Structure formats: structure tokens, C-alpha cells
Chains A and B, each alone.
Chain A
Amino acid sequence: MKLRTAIFALLVLVIAFVAQSQTFVIPSIYMAYLCIEDLVAVPEIPIWHPVGCEIVDCCPGCPGPGEIDWSIKISGDPAERVVFEFERLPAEGLKKLSLKGNAKLVEGNRLEVGVGESLISGFPADTRQGPVLARGRIVLNKTWLSEAAGRSRSVAEDKAQPQSDNRNLGKIEVSIVQSLGKVAVREYQQLYFIIRCRGGGGGSQDFVRLSNMNGTDSATILLDGRRSTGCVDDEVRRASPNVGVGNVLTNQNCNTETAVFAQNNAMQLATPVNVWTSAATDTENVNMRPVIQVPVTVWILQGPLAQTQAQVNNDIARANQLYNTMQAGVGFSPVTINNATANPNAAGLLNGGCGNAAQFSQQIGFTNGQLNVYYISVVAGGNRGQWCGGGNPNMMFVGASISDNESLSHEVGHAFSLGHTNGIAGIPATNLMVTGGVNRNSITTGQCFRIDVNSNSQLNANGNRNGPTRNCPDATTSNTCPSLALDVLPK
């Protein structure tokens, strides 16, 4: 018995050790939503990927410089083939490639890869001009496209049929694993979801009517309520200003609410909603309001001043664009920029961070009740950025020497209650809250909801927003908290 206990203890320890050893991998899954209406007009999807390793010597223990192989997999009914053209790869280099599976050279020095698995061997790892670039297009299957467009059209034109959640028509997956010998040196996976974007929602049904909309953006609506099948949670609808929602019934014991997200408008949360009846003629009016402006104070410690100031300007402009186009409903204004480069204490704090919070606030400056961003050189610990959380949720740092064009937006995301998304299923590599990576350009609707309603989001804590609040940690999904991964690419 004791032996069994010992073995069990050992197993627990081994599992704990393995868990502790896991590294934080940067996701390599990319996603895009494409409208069938656009694809009918142009039945191709552009695709781009460089040839090369993820680190400069490819990997620890790699066999040294050599040729790179692509293992490429294309799947999904909508796809017929991918046609690549290569930059920095002369025609003779292209002819030297070894092709297996469904890959073949075609006229015009192009490489055509069909659906299924193929192996392309012999890419040069690098050229003097830079890496070989594969620029291509996914050619769609015309039969599939025609049938899908027909199906979509009939739904769109069917006045009796309410606008439906089921807008998905098909999916294409392209994965490329680049290898040096037997070792994978870069992975890439791109998912394309083909959806119906327009039409539908006519006839006899209930509506959400958006009044005072600023702009003409297609709003995203999350609807909780009751249908004939029972309670429904976070049904996604997109339209504006009148959004057909089918027949929503009287509440009974179901949670009822409507959350509305739109560019150039603040998020609106109506809860509970008591207008729904058994008739399919009800209307919920939602009064939209302008984007909530969040005041920000910036302290520049890192010189030269003009250069850092230009960087601050870029980063604020990027934050405004990103949060607005992703329908978070927030903007950043006024932005007060303070020159602290001449402050005698600045030099000693250029590599500081949250551990020096008191020094920053006392020796450099701090404005109560709003976001304070300090542009220093490299944040303590070699970090690009840092949000202080805990006792200083309005304080954050950007390491101006190593930050990227989304570092500020990322730190603001933390101040708005969001955590990192690495390793969260369904959230792509392009999400703003990925720690690492170089192409962060999206915020999920699940994240927008948290930005706006979480009581620990500084938007609410600082009193920038007035409205109902919640406590929705990233990992919580319930009838009052949408999944963090809900609607990963709102636009």
C-alpha cells in the first residue's frame, strides 16, 4: 500500500515538474473571415509567407546552413489549389526544387500546389537580397463557390427566415511547416472562414433598433434571451441600424440582455430586456453614444525627446485605431505629454519598472485617476512593456528602445482587465494580448465586453464609463460572461 502511495507521489511530482517545464509558446495560428459576396466577385484569396527559420541559426543543434523544405497541407472544400510566385528565387532555383505530392511547376515560373499534402524541398535558406518570399493566391473551387453563393443568396432573400447565427459556409486551412533536415524550424497555420456577410433578416421578426448611431458601421450584437428551444446565450448578430433577431420570447427564467459594439460608438449593455413577447413584432431600442474618451498622461524619460515624442504619437494613434476598429468603443484623449528627459532623476529610472513605482510617481510625476504611461529605455527584466496592476493599476511602462508599435496598446489592454492569450484555444496569433509576436491587430468581442464592463477595467475604475459592471475574468464563461474567444475577429 505504501509502495503504491510512493509511486503515486512520484507521479504527482513528475507531472508537477513537467508542468513547470512548459514554455510559453507564441501561437502561429492566423485566422481570417471572408465574405462569400466578395469571393464571388474575385474568387481568389491572397497568401504570403517567407522562406526561412524562426531564429537566426534555425535551432539549437540544427545541422547548420542548408536547404529548407516546405511540408504544405491544404484542406477544405472551398479550396482548389494554391498558386505561388517567388520573389528572390530565380527560375533556375525554382526548377531545382524537388516536388512531391500535389505540387507542380506551371507556366510563368509558378508553383501550383493542390489540395492535400505536398513536400517541396530545396529552398535556399537565405539569399543575399533577403529571404525568398512566396506570394500566392488560393484559387477557389468554382463549383463549391457557386453552390455556396446560391445557398447564401436563398437565405438572404428569404424574408421569412430570420437572420441566423449560422453564417459559416466553409473553411480552408493552409499549414506550412518549414524544416531543415528533420527539424521543423518555422510553423505557420492559416485558417480562412468563408461566411455570408450580407442579407437576411427581413420579414416578420423582432428587431433591435440602434438610434443615434455615429457612422455606418455594421454593429455586432450579443443577444441573451429565450427562444422556442430554450435560453440562448451570446448569439452574434451583425447589422445596423436595425438588427433582425428572429423571434425572441418572453424571458421567463432566461437571462436577457443585449450588448452592442460598433465602431465610433461606445459599447451599450442593456440588461434585463423586457420588451420581448411571443409575437415576432417586438422592438428593443438601444440609444448609442459616442466613443468613451480615456484621458492619458505620458511621461517621457527616454531621449532624444523629439524621437520618443514621435513614437508616443504613433503608439497613441495606433491604440485609437485598433480599439476603435475592433469595436471596443474607447478612444484615448486628451493625451498630456510631459517632458521628463531633463528631470535629474530620469537617468536612474531608464531601466526601471513597477518595482520603482513610488520613485516614478514621486520623482517624475503621476496624475491621479487616469492612465499614466512612462516611456523609458528598457523596462526592468528586459521587458518591452509592463503594467503595474495591484496597487498601481493606472501605471504602465513602455521600453521605447525595444517596444513595437502595439506595446502601448497591449499594456492598456492589461489596464482594461485583459490577460495574455497565448495558449487560449481559438484565439489567433494576431490577438493584441499575445505576449510576443510581431503582428498583433485584433481584439475579440469577448475581450471588448470585458474591457467595457469589468469593474476592474480602469475604464470603470477611473469613472470614464458609467453603466452596469461585471466581474468576468478571462477564463470565465457563463450566461453573464461571454467566452473570451467569442467572435475572434469582429471586423
Chain B
Amino acid sequence: MKNLRITSMILMVFCACVAGCKGQPSSSETQSEKLSPEQAIAARQAIVAWLECEECTSGELEAVVKLGSTAVPSLAATLRSGPPPSSREIQREHLVQTYRGMEAYAKTHPRESGIKMSEEEYVRLYSENYVALYQIRAARALGSIGGEQSRNSLTDALNTSLREDVRTSVKETLQKMNSPR
């Protein structure tokens, strides 16, 4: 009987821990300031995994939601600004190299349908998509985390210049947040 009680207690403590970790976060940026370097790295990796996944089927969004308010400032900044300059450079370099590779390939494979836009147009098309990807994903994560801080970030973003589809996505997220569940 005593052992059963101990078992129950251990399980209760564990469940409380799980619930605490998964539940709605407590207020704040102060919480994020307390992250250890290891926790900050793990949080950053979780956010990047969500922002960049092709098909997000491995719990990428859930991992960010689990971070709660800790992730909100980073997501709000991403919604405003998109990917960081260094990531944009990596993307740009890849697009330029790919374009040139495809041009060279087309010369040796004239029967295949080649690329029909300039290098500049090609880079611009996918670079703009990259920015929209980050912003749409950031908006979605903010909507899933919820709370006043997230709502304010989304509302503020509507006062900035956003691509039309990103603006629509932000509006839809706000509507979902405002609708009774």
C-alpha cells in the first residue's frame, strides 16, 4: 500500500511537470532572459526548424508553442523583418549558383525546357518567397501561442509594409485568435 502511494506520488509529480512544461507559459520576456546558453540554443533551433520546414510534420510548430512566451519576441521580430541578413545571403548565393548551373546545364541539354527568366528575376522570386515564408510561419506560431503580447505583435505588423498574402495571413491569424473557441 505504501509502495502504491509512492508510485502514485511519483507519477503525480511527473504529470505536474509535464503539464507545467506543456501548458500556457507564464508572462514574459523576463523568463526568456533567464534561459541558459544551452536552452537559448535549443529554443533558437526549434524556431528555425519551424520557420524553414518543408512539410512540418515532425512537431515543429508544437515545439515552438511549447516555448510559449519565451519565443514571442523572436517571432515578433521575424514577423517584422523576415529572415536575418546572413540567412538571406546564404539563400541568395544558393540561388545565384543554382541559376548559373541551370544555364550551363541547358546548353548541354537543349531539348529540355530551360529556365526562361533572368538571374535577377529568379533570385527575386525565391528571395521574396523566403521572406514571406518566415513571416507567415512567425504569424502562425504567434497565433498558436496566443496571449496579449502575440496579439499586439500581429496587430502592429499590419501597420507595416507586408506582401499582400502575408497581410492576409496575419489578418486570418488575428481573426482566429479573436473568435471564440
Contacts and interface: CB of A to CB of B under 8 A. Distances in A.
B132 A60 contact: no
Q: How large is the interface on B (under 10, 10 to 19, 20 to 34, 35 or more residues)?
A: 35 or more
A2 B140 CA distance: 46
B84 A56 contact: yes
B11 interface: yes
Nearest to A132: B86
A325 interface: yes
A24 B98 contact: no
B179 interface: no
A56 B78 contact: yes
Nearest to B60: A24
B115 A314 contact: yes
Contact of A50 (B33, B54, B89, B117): B89
B178 interface: no
A62 B80 CA distance: 18
Interface string B65-106: 011001101100110111111111111011100100110011
Contacts of A438: 52, 87, 90-91, 94, 130
Contact of B4 (A2, A422, A435): A2
B154 interface: no
B55 A386 contact: yes
B54 A52 contact: no
A106 B37 CA distance: 34
A306 B88 CA distance: 26
A57 interface: yes
Given A61-B32, A317-B102, A384-B133, A377 B45 contact: no
Contact of B105 (A325, A335, A381): A325
Nearest to A407: B54
A126 to B, nearest CB: 5
A41 interface: no
B116 A410 contact: no
Contacts of A385: 54-55
Contacts of A382: 56, 61, 136-137, 140
Nearest to A7: B10
* Interface magnitude class on chain A: 35 or more
Interface in A1-59: 2-3, 5-7, 9-10, 13-14, 17, 20-21, 23-26, 48, 50-59
A203 interface: no
A23 B54 contact: no
B157 to A, nearest CB: 13
B42 interface: yes
B44 A59 contact: yes
Contacts of B116: 310, 313
A116 interface: no
B7 A310 contact: no
Interface in B30-46: 32-35, 37, 39-46
Nearest to A382: B140
Nearest to B89: A50
B86 A53 contact: yes
A418 B158 CA distance: 40
8 contacts: A21-B66, A23-B63, A61-B35, A126-B84, A318-B98, A321-B101, A382-B140, A401-B132
List the 10 shortest-distance A-B pairs measured between CB atoms, nearest first.
Answer: A52-B86, A436-B52, A2-B3, A6-B7, A61-B32, A61-B35, A50-B86, A439-B94, A402-B133, A59-B44
